[in-house]
């Protein structure tokens, strides 16, 4: 393979990190933003729909507030994000207007994507904007989120947005060349991985920690993001954003950086939503027989195959299914609350009504609402 997937891709999610839109974390780099607007305008001219996931709000807020460094207190980060988001939007609007394009601000939280109704509303809004020829600019809503409910980084957000809109490709632009077989800073034999399959466990072993003092995501987060995006059939390209005309060259088919291709059949939309939950309400431990039934037989999860329950959850919430070693083997929408599940576990379906006084479903998790990890 010598070319990228971008020439044939029609719907793209492009993520640019903080180091590519700020002056070393000290306010926005307006020249860089103009460059991204120019390249995205060219992609739009080619008939491609583009969603831009951009960092930079907190860095811009820190600069506008006159602070010497990024704060550590949550409320100060939220204040910086609130101030900086104004500047980020204004700068992008001015940059895209030069090329006759309209852009829109969309701020998301994990709760927006974990709630089914809000998830579908966000999807409808983004697809409508794309149909109107508008460039959605997405960022996490840092003014309201806390550490417990954050996406964690914009690599993850980019992957979830790719799944949300069923994008053809996710392009992660960073200050690194791509994924290497080892850390090139310490291993002179390290070589660039040009093409690989998303989800290959060997890739996670190759990926190191954060390589930038400005951003929050290292190469590992990008590999995991590619794995997530692959669930909806999207390929991921990890490339250096400092390459000249990197987006237009990728769109022309030039191989730049690392391309990770999806190899699995895309999940059904509802199962995709289940798989993309980052925070789960609880988990149930399965015995060996239930693990085999789920992984090999494609079966529903029955109460008799569950040996333990952790956490507090309600009917219809997403829970993790783990084996005896604590490894997640599936997740799904559970039909009974944690208290109800604790009472019926290890019992056959025929005894549910006698134990609870009623029966909602014969299965603890129906296979149509179950995603194998």
27 is in an annotated binding site: no
175 is in an annotated binding site: yes
Spatial separation of the C-alpha atoms in residues 129 and 141, rounded to whole Å: 19
Contact (CB, 8 A) for 170 and 234: yes
219 is in an annotated binding site: yes
CA distances from 289 to 254, 292, 343 (A): 49, 5, 20
Instruction: Compute and round to an integer the Cα radius of gyration of the chain.
Output: 22
271 is in an annotated binding site: no
Contact (CB, 8 A) for 225 and 236: yes
154 is in an annotated binding site: yes
Residue 327, SS3?
coil
Stated as kind and residue range, the H or E segment containing 223 is helix 219-230
Spatial separation of the C-alpha atoms in residues 48 and 99, rounded to whole Å: 15
What residues have CB less than 8 Å from 304, skipping those under 6 apart? 290, 345, 346, 347, 348, 349
Contacts 24+ apart (CB under 8 A), 22-27: 22/56, 22/59, 22/60, 22/214, 24/214, 25/59, 25/62, 25/70, 25/213, 25/214, 26/59, 26/62, 26/63, 27/59, 27/60, 27/62, 27/63, 27/64, 27/87
| CA nearest to 62, candidates 51, 45, 41, 76 | 76
174 is in an annotated binding site: yes
220 is in an annotated binding site: yes
Residue 330: CB atoms within 10 Å: 24
Spatial separation of the C-alpha atoms in residues 59 and 28, rounded to whole Å: 7
222 is in an annotated binding site: yes
CB-facing half-sphere around the CA of 239: CA atoms within 13 A = 24
Spatial separation of the C-alpha atoms in residues 296 and 265, rounded to whole Å: 17
As annotated, the binding site for substrate includes 55, 142, 154
- Name the binding residues for ATP: 15, 174-175, 216-222
Q: Binding site membership: which residues?
A: 15, 55, 142, 154, 174-175, 216-222
């Amino acid at each position: 393979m010598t070319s990228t997937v971008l020439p044939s891709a029609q719907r793209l999610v492009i993520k640019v990190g903080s180091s590519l839109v700020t002056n070393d974390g000290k306010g926005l780099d307006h020249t860089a933003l103009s460059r991204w607007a120019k390249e995205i305008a060219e992609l739009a001219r080619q008939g491609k729909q583009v969603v831009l996931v951009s960092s930079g709000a907190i860095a811009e807020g820190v600069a506008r507030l006159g602070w010497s460094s990024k704060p550590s207190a949550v409320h100060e980060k939220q204040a910086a994000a609130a101030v900086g988001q104004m500047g980020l939007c204004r700068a992008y609007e001015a940059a895209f207007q030069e090329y006759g394009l309209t852009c829109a601000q969309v701020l998301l939280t994990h709760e927006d994507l974990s709630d089914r109704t809000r998830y579908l509303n966000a999807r409808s809004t983004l697809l409508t904007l794309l149909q109107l020829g508008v460039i959605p600019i997405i960022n996490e809503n840092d003014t309201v989120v806390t550490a417990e409910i954050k996406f964690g980084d914009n690599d993850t957000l980019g992957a979830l947005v790719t799944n949300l809109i069923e994008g053809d490709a996710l392009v992660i632009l960073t200050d690194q060349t791509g994924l290497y077989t080892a850390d090139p800073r310490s291993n002179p034999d390290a070589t660039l991985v040009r093409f690989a399959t998303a989800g290959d466990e060997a890739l996670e072993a190759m990926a190191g920690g954060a390589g930038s003092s400005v951003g929050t995501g290292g190469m590992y987060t990008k590999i995991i993001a590619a794995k997530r995006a692959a669930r909806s059939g999207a390929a991921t390209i990890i490339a250096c954003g400092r390459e000249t005309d990197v987006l237009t060259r990728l769109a022309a088919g030039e191989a730049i950086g690392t391309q990770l291709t999806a190899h699995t059949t895309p999940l059904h939309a509802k199962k995709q939503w289940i798989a993309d939950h980052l925070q789960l309400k609880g988990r149930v431990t399965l015995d060996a027989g239930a693990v085999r039934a789920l992984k090999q037989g494609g079966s529903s999860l029955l109460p008799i195959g569950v040996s333990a329950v952790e956490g507090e959850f309600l009917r219809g919430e997403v829970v993790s299914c783990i084996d005896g070693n604590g490894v997640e083997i599936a997740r799904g929408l559970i039909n009974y609350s944690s208290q109800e599940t604790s009472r019926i576990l290890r019992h056959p379906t025929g005894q549910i009504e006698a134990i609870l006084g009623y029966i909602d479903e014969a299965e603890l998790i129906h296979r149509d609402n179950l995603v194998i990890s």
